[in-house]
Amino acid sequence: MKKNPPHFRVRGRDHGQLPRVHMDYCFMRDADSDPTLTCLVCRDQESRVTFADVCPRKGTHEHSIDQALLNLKRLGHSKMVIKTDQEPALVSLADNIKARREQDTILEHSPVAESAANGIAEKAVQQVEERVRVLKLGLQRRISSFVPTLHPIMTWLIQHAGDMLSKLEVGADGRTPYERLRGKRYRGEVVEFGSIVHYRVSGALQPGRGKLEPRWREGVWLGKRWESDEHLISTPEGVVKCRAIAQVPQNKRWSNEAVNSVRGVPWAWKGEEDLIVPEVVFAPHPVEPETGRTVPENEPRNMKITVSILEKHGYTATCDKCRSLLGTGPRTTKAHDATCRQRIEAKVTEDDEFRIRLTASKLRKDDYATRMGEAVESDRVKRLRSTSENPVGSTAGGGVVDMDVQMDGPQVSADAPTTSTATTTTAEGGLRRLQPPLRTQRQQQHRLHQPHLQQHCLRYLLRQHLHQPHLQQYCLRDLLRQHSVRVQLCRHALHHQAAQRTAWTRREEKGQGA
């Protein structure tokens, strides 16, 4: 039997082809038993600009039609093609859009049960769902509470997710969808969604307002407007827009009560009309069980090759990044290749102006390697100690052998004859924990108190880094911050060295006296 014909990949708009906008519904909820939140996702085929908006319900709701017409107006197309699937609610919505739109609009539908035929809309829905999930989980972690799907703040979060896809996601050509549509990069101010900010009251100097009235107030940041790039702020009176904001201190930036007080939605900013839910009680966010493992630290990056360095030492002809910066090649977001970096670093090593950057990058990498080595050693010791808590051998009295001691000392079995230096027999006939010999104790103390195995001590840093001529620009404060030096550990290391010198002096005096 003959199969269905393949779907062809769309690679942009050909010359003379009409602009195409793809639309589809997506549905979000926390669990199968929870109510569903209906969202309308629109994506322009040429620029990849994406809009995501919550609909009060499927079908021809007044807000859904108005918002879809507004999104099409933002794209700036006159005659266009709107492509959807054959879902009755979506087809009805597209028909109303065509009837109310002044310019010519052509409707197109994908075959039944062929989601790949409308792949642009399917991909847009997938990306919007990913961004919404990230923003929602981030907000829940910040306020330590669970945010229900039907809470009014979710209507703004979904809209903000689509806005960030259009303004901040860089494509393979090195441009964002916003830049492809408007011909310029987005340079607006963006803060973390749901955070508390200070916003300047619009129209503070208009007639009727006193000069002593407050011009800055506090609210929850909900995103930006597309047309005017104004901030959307949630206040006790509803959602307002403003032009200027200022972030509050970090310890006051997140509040469960402030997020729960959001009442306005995109089709009712003041919250006076039909909200999704009248009231929502926040449930405590489930605390994940601690696994004992820390989040892995990111490896420090290499020295950044700036335009000033390239202008001084020249561009590499075979490097795609250099050709992109010169304008002789396609725009790319890739980094400089290995050959280009090796040549630039060799030049910078002999350059007194930029040598400090390369040296600082190498110091960060060395410090990272040291910390990773300490973490591996610490994990190994913890595993060995946890193994020693489980009995690996028993005696007549139920005594056990300490495997942590056997790691550094001689291996002793339970059947071997006991000696005064290895084990002692108790009254019950069992064995006490093995006592390591004196040499093993000294080795453990020496290994424990070595400064370079715990943290770089102050004396070591001063000797190794501060007195180098090309690092004299670094002050002591920046050096301590960069290497995370702890003053208590430094004092402990210096005290241990002084104690060793005192003990050595006493042994010499006793030897001379004898």
CATH class of 189-283: mainly beta
**Residue linked to tokens 């010791």:** 381
**CA 372 to CA 191: how far, in whole Å?**
33
pLDDT given for residue 60 in this prediction: 79
Instruction: Please report, for residues 132, 145, 289, 419, 456, the alpha-carbon distance to residue 138 in angstroms, rounded to integers and kept in the order given.
Output: 10, 11, 18, 61, 35
Question: Following DSSP, what letter does each residue of 127-167 receive, concatenated?
Answer: HHHHHHHHHHHHHHHHHTEE--TTSTHHHHHHHHHHHHHHH
Amino acid identity for residue 428 in this structure: E
Q: Are 412 and 421 in contact (CB under 8 A)?
A: no
Tokens of 41: 């996702």
Burial 459-491, CB ≥16 within 10 A → b, else e: ebbeeebeeeeebeebeeeebbeebebeeebbe
**pLDDT tens track for 15-28:** 568 889 999 998 88
**pLDDT tens track for 79-95:** 899 998 888 888 898 99
pLDDT given for residue 264 in this prediction: 87
Tokens of 182: 């408007």
In a 3-state reduction of DSSP, which class is residue 265? Answer: strand
**CA 273 to CA 37: how far, in whole Å?**
18
Angle at 226 between CA 224 and CA 232, to 5 degrees: 25
As a whole number of Å, the end-to-end CA separation of the chain is 105
Please enumerate in sequence order all residues whose Cβ is within 8 A of that of 148, keeping only pairs 6 or more positions apart, or say none: 30, 34, 154, 277, 280, 282, 283
Q: Give the containing element (helix H, strand E) for 307.
A: helix 307-313
CATH node for 20-167: 3.30.420.10
pTM attached to this predicted model: 0.54
Please enumerate in sequence order all residues whose Cβ is within 8 A of that of 272, keeping only pairs 6 or more positions apart, or say none: none
Tens-digit pLDDT string for the chain (514 aa): 555 665 556 555 555 688 899 999 988 888 777 788 889 999 998 889 999 999 888 877 888 899 999 999 999 888 899 998 888 888 898 999 999 888 888 998 888 767 677 788 889 999 999 999 999 999 999 998 898 888 899 999 999 999 999 999 998 888 999 999 999 999 999 999 999 999 998 765 555 666 777 888 999 999 999 988 999 999 988 899 999 999 999 889 999 899 988 888 888 888 765 444 433 445 555 555 545 545 566 788 888 898 889 888 889 888 988 888 888 888 888 889 989 999 999 998 888 888 888 888 888 888 888 888 887 888 877 777 777 665 444 444 444 334 333 334 444 444 444 444 444 444 444 433 334 444 444 444 444 445 444 444 445 544 555 445 444 444 445 555 555 544 555 555 666 677 777 877 777 777 765 5
pLDDT given for residue 10 in this prediction: 59
| Backbone phi, psi, residue 236, to 5° | -60, -25
Helix 62-75, helix 88-100: angle, nearest 10: 60
Q: Are 429 and 395 in contact (CB under 8 A)?
A: yes
SS (H, E, C) 67-114: HHHHHHHHHCCCCEEEEECCCHHHHHHHHHHHHHCCCCEEEEECCCCC
**pLDDT tens track for 124-156:** 999 999 999 999 999 999 998 898 888 899 999
| Backbone phi, psi, residue 247, to 5° | -75, 145
Q: Is 144 left (phi over 0), alpha (psi -120 to 50) or beta?
A: left
Segments of the chain assigned to CATH 2.30.30: 189-283
Segments of the chain assigned to CATH 3.30.420.10: 20-167
Quick one: which of 215, 230, 221 has its CA closest to 253? 221
Q: Give the containing element (helix H, strand E) for 42.
A: strand 37-44
